[in-house]
Structure 1
Amino acid sequence: MILRHITIDAGNPYVLAQFWSTVTGWPIADGDVPGDDEVLVVAPSPVPSLLFIAVPESKSVKNRVHIDWVPTERTRDEEVDRLLTLGATIHEDHRTPEGPGWVTMLDPEHNEFCIERSLAERSA
């Protein structure tokens, strides 16, 4: 089997896809436009793409699955700061004074995701 997409329910698929496209640097699929019920953020192979699908109800409980991200061009804290400027919010801060830990954040539609330490931080 191959994991093709990670599918995320959305109130506004295009707006949420724009947020995640900016976060990841991955493009929105050609032909996907505002108002579409499905919008794809295309990841580089072999990484699964992010598919946003319109649903009528808003998010009401904690996600049962979420994505953990490891920054490649910034430290964990720099990435958290960048995501805050893009519209994410901090949900839970699990950083420790010694350096380890992660930050659980919310995207603009309140889907949880985590930012972990970068590989460089882990090897230091």
Structure 2
Amino acid sequence: MTIQIRHLTFDSAEPRRLAEFWSAVTGWHLFYDEDPEVIVARSFPSKELMFLFVPVPEAKTAKNRVHIDIKPEDTTRDELVERALSLGATVFGDHRKEDGSGFVALRDPEGNEFCIERGEHEMAPSGPMTIGLTI
């Protein structure tokens, strides 16, 4: 059996506003019509993962049980963190280390947690990994 994960759905007090935040963070496009739901995706329709924002009357009240980890492809982790902060995100855990590794845990404008990691291009190339086994 195979499946396709179509959407990652965000319950939201203001779907359009939250979708605009995520569109700006990801560089993906907004797709909407008169329906209150909003999609953020690279393209639409798409077989890739899309973010779906749906209106709900209640506010977020507890820690997310699932969160998104994102990493930049054409900028740095630190630049993407600064961009997210300028768009309304807040930091709740800065786990960057002196050697450049680590990540930053943030909340979007409605309190949903997400982490920004280093992009592949920021990591030093490493040689082949060897594992020693004792029999």
Q: Whose radius of gyration is greater, 1 or 2?
A: 2
Long gaps (5+) in structure 2 = 126-135
Summarize the Cα distance change of 1:30–1:109 in structure 2 as closer, same or farther, 3 Å threshold: closer
- Give the SS at the match of 2:54: strand
Q: What residue in structure 1 maps to residue 31 of structure 2?
A: 29
The corresponding residue for 2:69 is 68
Alignment size in residue pairs: 121
More helix by share: 1
* Contact preservation (8 Å) 2:32, 2:38: no
**Matched AA of 2:41:** V
Q: Which amino acid aligns with 1:19?
A: F
Q: Is the aligned partner of 1:40 residue 2:39?
A: yes
Task: Tell me the distance in 2 between the aligned counterparts of 1:104 and 1:22.
Answer: 18
Decide whether the 8 Å contact of 2:30 with 2:39 is kept in 1: yes
Separation in 1, partners of 2:65, 2:31:
27
CA distance in 2, matches of 1:101, 1:50: 25
Q: Could you tell me how far 1:98 is from its partner in structure 2?
A: 1.5
Q: CA RMSD in A?
A: 1.5
Range with bigger deviation, 39-48 or 76-85? 39-48
Q: Within the alignment, does 1:6 sit opposite 2:8 as a pair?
A: yes
TM-score normalised by L of structure 2: 0.83
User: How far is the alpha carbon of 1:4 from its aligned partner?
Assistant: 0.5
